[in-house]
DNA sequence: ATGATACCATTTGCATGCGAATGATTTTCC
DNA sequence: GGAAAATCATTCGCATGCAAATGGTATCAT
């Protein structure tokens, strides 16, 4: 005889053997991210996702300081610095000290940077589509909505 | 007068100004992951999420080779090596060469490793709950389902 | 048995990502 | 005006994460 299951759990009890790491949000989030990065790399080989995010955002806003751009693309000061350094090295971003506030590093796209954004944005749309390919349109919209709420 | 909108789009046309990087799955996925990692760190300070994942999985399977464990927790050979090295340095994992197949590095939890898993798993459950706190139970289940499909 | 092939682990190089400390500048507040 | 606090950028150290190359070992096919 196996022990009878309680018909009602009067208190929330801890079930010791029931935790599975690979079913937790954190784990699945990490895996989904991995797959997306792989899809990205298969379409865009010359930039990483964070680099493209910074570039694309910079195209939107025109001119902005390094840390402010970082805030817009969810990168802290240390991270955005490295990203911008690499974009600078590729000649996609121009840098100048702010005249009135000498602390600020003002960023702008170069002509090559604008070209890159124009060229890559259609590919980026395909990357999004391919990442969401396992889902219906409706499911994809739901996922994006829920994901945004926990982000 | 502004130009009239076409009533029917007969072909799927590219809308040049409509792409917003911060609304794409990849971006939101990255942000959600960031928030989860931050929540994790606020509850568990002595291990990182990948380290806990490896440890927890190792507790599940008992004994396994390094690369096989890596496959179970979605880390390539180079990544899992670093993670295991750190767990080894903390005395949570024991390592031994496989007798019959001298290529394999067999991993096991130490007593301290088992204790750590027992101690941290309840916290990990709270981390999951807090990450999903902005959602209802039902929404959380939906998110996890959709996320798993694209992972 | 042996040569080709596959598998396991390691190493190197590069790119995020974050915490913490530092230095320079600006703003605030009295 | 001038000290205190806030802001901006940089640097360091550490931990993923992946590609590519390497060396050791095992397996497979002939």
pTM of the model: 0.89
| For chain B, the helix, strand and coil percentages under 3-state DSSP, each to the nearest 5 | 60, 10, 30
pLDDT at A64: 97
Give the integer Cα–Cα distance in Å for B133 and A108. 39
B29 touches chain A (CB under 8 A): yes
pLDDT at B100: 93
Give the integer Cα–Cα distance in Å for B80 and B93. 13
Give the integer Cα–Cα distance in Å for B38 and B33. 9
Give the integer Cα–Cα distance in Å for B43 and B127. 7
pLDDT in tens, A89-131: 999 999 999 999 999 999 999 999 999 999 999 999 999 999 9
Q: Do A150 and B127 touch (CB under 8 A)?
A: no
Kindly report the backbone phi and psi dihedral angles of residue B31, in degrees, each rounded to the nearest multiple of 5, phi listed first.
-65, -45
Q: Which residue has the tokens 């994992």?
A: B93
Helix A137-150 and helix B25-43: axis angle, to 10°? 40
Instruction: State, as a whole number of angstroms, the distance between the CA of B74 and the C1' of D30.
Output: 38
Give the Cα-Cα-Cα angle B8, B12, B18 (nearest 5 degrees): 100
State the virtual CA torsion across B126, A77, A55, B34 in degrees, nearest 10.
Answer: -10
- Would you place residue A17 in the very low, low, confident or very high pLDDT band (cuts 50, 70, 90)? confident
Segment B5-18 shows an average pLDDT of: 66
Mutate one of B18, B142, B151 to test the A interface: name it (highest A CB count within 10 A): B151
pLDDT in tens, A127-150: 999 999 999 999 999 999 999 999
* Three-class DSSP category at A4: coil
| Closest chain A residue to B132, measured at CA | A150
Is B48's CB less than 7 Å from nucleic acid strand C?
A: no
Segment B135-147 shows an average pLDDT of: 98
**Is residue A127 within 8 Å of A43, Cβ to Cβ?**
yes
Q: Where are the alpha helices (DSSP H) in A44-110?
A: 49-61, 66-72, 77-89
B145 touches chain A (CB under 8 A): no
Neighbours of B107 (CB within 10 A): 24
Higher pLDDT, A132 or B4: A132
Give the integer Cα–Cα distance in Å for B90 and B92. 6
Instruction: State, as a whole number of angstroms, the distance between the CA of A88 and the C1' of D9.
Output: 16
Nearest to B33 among A29, A57, A146 (CB): A29
Percent of chain A with pLDDT over 70: 90
A149 touches chain B (CB under 8 A): yes
Give the integer Cα–Cα distance in Å for B54 and B60. 10
Nearest-CA distance from A100 to chain B in Å? 30
pLDDT at A93: 98
pLDDT in tens, B43-84: 999 999 999 999 999 999 999 999 999 999 999 999 999 999
Tell which residue, B58, B71, B63, has the closest CA to residue B99.
B63
**Is residue B27 within 8 Å of A48, Cβ to Cβ?**
no
């Amino acid at each position: 005889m196996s022990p009878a299951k309680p018909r009602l759990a009067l208190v929330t009890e801890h079930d010791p053997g029931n935790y599975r790491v690979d079913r937790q949000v954190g784990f699945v989030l990490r895996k989904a991210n991995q797959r997306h990065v792989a899809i990205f790399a298969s379409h865009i080989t010359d930039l990483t996702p964070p680099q493209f995010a910074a570039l694309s955002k910079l195209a939107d806003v025109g001119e902005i300081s390094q840390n402010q751009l970082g805030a817009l693309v969810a990168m802290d000061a240390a991270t955005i610095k490295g990203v911008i350094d690499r974009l600078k090295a590729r000649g996609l971003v121009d840098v100048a000290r702010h005249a009135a506030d000498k602390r600020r590093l003002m960023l702008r796209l170069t002509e090559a940077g604008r070209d890159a954004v124009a060229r890559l944005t259609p590919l980026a749309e395909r990357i999004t589509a391919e990442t969401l390919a396992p889902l219906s349109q409706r499911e994809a919209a739901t996922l994006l909505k829920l994901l945004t709420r926990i982000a």
